[in-house]
Amino acid sequence: MADIEKALTYEIKKEIADRYFGLRRLIEKDQEELAAQVKRYTLALEQKICTELVRIYLLLADDGLIQEFIELAGLGDRFFYDPYLLESPAIRARLLQGRRGKGLTPAGRFRSLLLESYKTLEMLVALSREKLPELQDRQAIVTQEIALFYRKNDLGNIMGFLRALDQHDYPEGMTGGIVSGSTERFEKKLRLEPPPAIAELLTIVPPLRPLDLIRKDLKKLSNRAYNRRLNCQP
């Protein structure tokens, strides 16, 4: 009789564990998929936005002109900016070498390059913002899944039920934590945490002012940057 009771107890505990960890694994897969989507977003868009924005900083090459550009574009902040960028020949060479705008004069080509960079940046920012709602919706879904999972599978109640059945012979996956450590530590180790908000994972750049609306002012800024460059040359 004791062996039968022990076998039945084990089967009950195993069924509870299989159900709990099976549902948990499904949510973990959703979390992994979300993380992969965020990674693809970062690699595909955020790095491109950073590159184009830094290229504009290098063209302007002056703290005051860069601040004017930030305000003109409607950025509101110096995204991806570091004063070191303006002092690094390696970064300048990598981002500007071989880049030539259209025009008959050096000043015209410089202006064209700045305008082309801004147009590319505007397009990249718009594209990135189109993808944001998809990531935010996915994050919200995973968060809701975790909340629902714990409403239907309270880990404290499960652990209490298992302890009431038997203090030994826990099913695979639950043995070590219960026997060797406190229940509280074990529960904390198993607990699924909701994914961070997308805004905490990515640099979200606000929509830029359309090039057509600021073209004149951007050209003036370009002329000042080019003249400053000439004056700074030895």
Fill in the amino acid letter for 206. P
The predicted model gives 128-154 an average pLDDT of 85
Could you tell me if 166 and 9 are in contact, meaning their C-beta atoms sit under 8 angstroms apart? yes
The predicted model gives 179-190 an average pLDDT of 56
**Average pLDDT of the residues of the chain:** 78
DSSP state of 101: -
Query: Which token pair is 104?
Result: 């008959």
- Do you know the residue count of the chain? 234
- Find, among 84, 91, 3, the residue nearest to 51 by Cα: 91
Split at pLDDT 50, 70, 90, the class of 42 is: confident
Residue 140: predicted pLDDT: 92
Residue 209: predicted pLDDT: 95
Could you tell me if 16 and 161 are in contact, meaning their C-beta atoms sit under 8 angstroms apart? yes
> Is a pLDDT exceeding 50 seen at residue 178?
no
- Distance between CA atoms of residues 159 and 20, nearest Å: 11
- Distance between CA atoms of residues 45 and 39, nearest Å: 10
- Distance between CA atoms of residues 40 and 76, nearest Å: 26
Split at pLDDT 50, 70, 90, the class of 146 is: confident
- Distance between CA atoms of residues 228 and 28, nearest Å: 55
The contacts found for 91-98 with CB under 8 angstroms, 24 or more apart, are 91/54, 91/58, 92/58, 95/51, 95/54, 95/55, 95/58, 96/55, 96/58, 96/59
Query: Which token pair is 145?
Result: 């899944």
- Find, among 132, 144, 128, the residue nearest to 31 by Cα: 144
- Chain centre distance of CA 187: 28
How many Cα atoms occupy the beta-carbon half-sphere of 190 within 13 Å?
A: 27
- Distance between CA atoms of residues 76 and 79, nearest Å: 9
The predicted model gives 69-79 an average pLDDT of 92
Split at pLDDT 50, 70, 90, the class of 16 is: low
- Find, among 141, 174, 168, the residue nearest to 15 by Cα: 174
How close are the terminal C-alpha atoms of the chain, in Å? Answer: 98
